[in-house]
A and B are shown apart, each in its own frame.
Chain A
Amino acid sequence: MSKILEQLATAIIEGDIDNTPKLVQKALDEGLEPLSILNDGMVMGMNEVGRRFKAGEMFVPEVLMSAEAMQAGLKILRPLLVSSGAKLLGKVIMATVQGDLHDIGKNLVGMMCEGAGFEVIDLGFDVPAERIVQAVKEHKPDIVGLSALLTTTMRQMAYTIKALEEAGLRDKVKVMVGGAPVDAEFAKKIGADGYGSNAAAGAELAKKLVGAA
């Protein structure tokens, strides 16, 4: 691996938000391909972050800094990748369902997905099914992620999936769900595509759902 890509991976691991885009630019100037800069440099760095986090060697705030560095680098690369026709990881819409104000879990998943290289659109909390449908129409995401903390708001996940079906959009997106009272069985019952038990699992699931893992 070239030296600059190694430096880039290190910048990601260290969560260096200022240096990462500079290194990306330097790599481009040296003639490296955008896709290679992404996959052989930045993604390698994030993979190491994931490994260290799982091993208990890195902590959430550090992982989020790496995710921010990832996004800072991606800001330069994204238009280049799009114009070259390369397949980006994709878009995720995140929302806490209607009637529920809790969103720290959802926020964390969103940030970890950004770390994985996704573009994340966060609709916030207390989001009615109709607004989610609207957002899907507008942003054409690959994944919709829904979060709920209460058994009484869990049902909104089912309503939302139904609303997507009725709008003829269900087969255009993958739906993943999460939250304290949610489990894999419930996800299956309501016809979701997957369940993430925590933020890291959610980001992994997202990668899997777009065929990148």
Chain B
Amino acid sequence: MGAVAEPSGVSQTVGSAGTAVTASTTGTAVAAYTAVMVTIKIGAVATIGAVAAHTAVSAAAALTAVTAVTGVLTTSPASPTITAGATAPCTLAGLIAQAAAESWMGLTLAQTIAPGLPFFMGGVTSILDMQTMIFSYGAPELALAECGLTELAHYAGIPLWNTGGCTDSKTLDEQAAIEGSFSVMAAALCGGDLTHDVGYTESAMTGSLFQLCMMDEAIGWSRRVTRGIEVNEETLAVEVIKSVGPNGHYLRHPHTRKFFKTEFWYPTLCDRHNYEEWSAAGSLPMRERVIAKVREILETHTPPPIKKETRDVIEKVLADAEARVKSTDTKKK
């Protein structure tokens, strides 16, 4: 198999992060794994092979160009966007098996051309909503299937291209918050390595800066959870409890002073003021704070600039591509 990324730290049970989520056992993973191998054997049809080969060759060409400049091999994800009930089996286990099969077709091809090329598997695993016929980006099944797929990927030693922070909502609202947060938390708990689509709304038809910004908060929240609880002499604080005693308080204790900044996650978009202070500040719902923050970032943030040499190379690649496309168009005419 291809190169393997570091497994995520979420499943450690020693030390600080003691959380583990499994949606299936290793026994089950083996079953899916073997099923996938069978599928590949049966399903190696010329059409798929040709398409995959063509894609792989083009991808390899682009990769070579960038590699020449940066000197670094980039990774290639092979990640289907796969719909339970439509382009995949209705049941999630079947969906996962097929998603993996599709990824590993690309994997096999890529490793044949460029052995040792770093590789991500994954994709967007979700369902076809059987009433509205959309591919749902907010369904709980998306998060659940991604968790299952993550476990299969990690079992196979491959990092996962995960999905989360997205929604079917058409606007910045409570549904967007619920659906996005749900898949963000699932992604954090299962440790799927790169979680993309944060900021996707309207079932991936609209990219929203607001959703992206709002989800940053959910990600911070989730990361505090996966950080876990550290248990040692100092954190158990038995002596501190003794020194404070019944009916005392801890607000001035050196132990509190030592830990209050690091033990707690402090929100920036979730408001924890009391009612009077929140009213005095305008009684704002969260969406207003999100919008204000996005605008502030756009108005004030300057990203570090790209080096001129890099910029020149990119512009040349672009110019060559444009010329090529234009000449093909002329030929067609």
Taking Cβ atoms with an 8 Å cutoff, the residues of A that contact B are: 59-62, 64-65, 68, 101, 103-104, 107-108, 111, 125, 197-198, 201
Contacts and interface: CB of A to CB of B under 8 A. Distances in A.
B277 A197 contact: yes
Contact of B256 (A61, A111, A201): A61
25 contacts: A59-B260, A60-B251, A60-B260, A61-B251, A61-B252, A61-B260, A62-B257, A64-B251, A64-B252, A65-B252, A101-B247, A103-B247, A103-B249, A104-B249, A104-B251, A107-B251, A108-B251, A111-B251, A111-B252, A125-B247, A197-B275, A197-B276, A198-B274, A198-B276, A198-B277
Contacts of A201: 276
A197 B274 contact: yes
B280 to A, nearest CB: 10
B252 A68 contact: yes
Interface in B66-98: none
A107 B249 contact: yes
Contacts of A60: 251, 260
A65 B257 CA distance: 9
Given A62-B257, A65-B257, A197-B276, 4 more contacts: A61-B257, A68-B252, A104-B249, A197-B275
Interface residues of B, number: 12
Nearest to B264: A59
A59 B261 contact: yes
Nearest to A104: B249
Nearest to B268: A56
Query: Which of B252, B274, B275 has the most chain A CB atoms inside 10 A of its CB?
Result: B252
Interface of B: 247, 249, 251-252, 256-257, 260-261, 274-277
Contacts of B276: 197-198, 201
A12 to B, nearest CB: 16
A89 B196 CA distance: 58
Contacts of B274: 197-198
The 4 residue pairs across chains A and B that have the minimum distance between CB atoms: A197-B276, A61-B257, A61-B260, A197-B274
Contacts of A62: 257
Contacts of B261: 59
Contacts of B247: 101, 103, 125
Query: Which of A59, A108, A125 has the most chain B CB atoms inside 10 A of its CB?
Result: A59
Nearest to A68: B252
Contacts of A64: 251-252
A183 to B, nearest CB: 9
A197 B260 CA distance: 23
A46 to B, nearest CB: 17
B262 to A, nearest CB: 12
B229 to A, nearest CB: 21
A109 to B, nearest CB: 12
A58 to B, nearest CB: 11
Nearest to A59: B260
B258 to A, nearest CB: 9
Contacts of A65: 252, 257
A183 B125 CA distance: 51
Contacts of B275: 197
